[in-house]
Structures are given as structure tokens and as C-alpha cells.
Amino acid sequence: MTVDELIAPSDVETGTVFRAPRREDGAAISRLIGDCPPLDTNSTYAYLLLCEHFSQTCVVAVGESGEIDGFVSAYIPPQKPDVLFVWQVAVNERARGSRLAARMLHALVWRCAAKPIRYIETTVGPDNIASRKTFEAVALAAEAPIAETALFDATLLGDDAHEDERLLRIGPFDIDMLTPL
């Protein structure tokens, strides 16, 4: 098994495999995002680009059935080499309640251990309680502070009645604190 196909000790019994996404996963990821409101859907092409160009900072969770149960898209901003910016976290309904989102984030940070990651950033709408709880749990596991600031006001996000996007910043943390769960 390569670093691209991770099985954390706690996932041996569930059969979940965390791996880098492949271009063949693009359409399935697009469908998963569409099934996970309130996530904004993007074109399948956008997910193909994530699989092709950002596979090392994204992760899919594949269940025993061989289907994708979860996806995290992330990247390292060019001006912030110590930040992993998490764009979207999606968990299929059949896998909810198993802490899969947090487990994917831990596996992804663990895979990025060779990079100087000291912070995780993400944007979250004010009413997205599930995402907030996930990132709070990651901050707690990392024994790191979490701060919230304004980032994108709803007026910047177009005419589709989108909520504000608040920036959550976890860190600084010791990357060894976020080993796979």
C-alpha cells in the first residue's frame, strides 16, 4: 500500500480506504457534492482538475462497497505554504455519523506531513453546524486554537442568496498531533 492509499488503524474494521483522488473519480465526486447540500456544486470539469492537479492535497474515502463515501478538496495557497486550505468536505448519507469527515481531514494532513503545514483554514457559513463541529473536533485533536473571522460577505457571492463565508483558522499545531484516527 502506498502513501496514496491509507488505511488508518481505526478503519481496518470499517474497510474504509483513504486515497488521493484519480481522474476517474471526477464524475462520482461531482455527484457526491450534488447530494450534499448546502455545498456549492461546481462543474464535473472542476472536480476533474482537482483530481488531476491537486490530488496530493485532496482525499477520497472509499468504503467496502468500492464506492466513494467521502471527499475533501484542499490546496496549499501559494502565498501561505504553511496553510492547508480546505475547500469542500462531503460525506455520503450512508457514511454519516461515523466521523468520516474528521477522519478524512486527519488522513489528509498526515499525507501532507512532508510539507510545512502548521494551519488549516476553511470557510464555513454561519448555519453550517456539522462543518463547524468537524473543524472544532480537528482543532481539539490538534490541541490548537481555532479562530473565526470574516472573509467573504454574502454580497460578494452573487445573487443566489448565499450566506456569508466565515474563515476558520486552526493552528498553529504540531502535525504529529493529527495522525490518522
Q: How far apart are CA 126 and CA 103, in angstroms?
A: 23
Q: How far apart are CA 37 and CA 125, in angstroms?
A: 12
* Residue range of the domain that includes 82: 5-178
How many domains is the chain partitioned into structurally?
1
* CATH at residue 19: 3.40.630.30
Asked whether 174 and 130 are in contact (CB, 8 A), the reply is no
pLDDT in tens, the chain (181 residues): 444 454 444 455 568 999 999 999 999 999 999 999 888 889 999 999 999 999 999 999 999 889 999 999 999 999 999 999 999 999 999 999 889 999 999 888 888 877 788 999 999 988 888 899 999 999 998 899 999 998 877 667 666 656 778 899 999 988 776 665 5
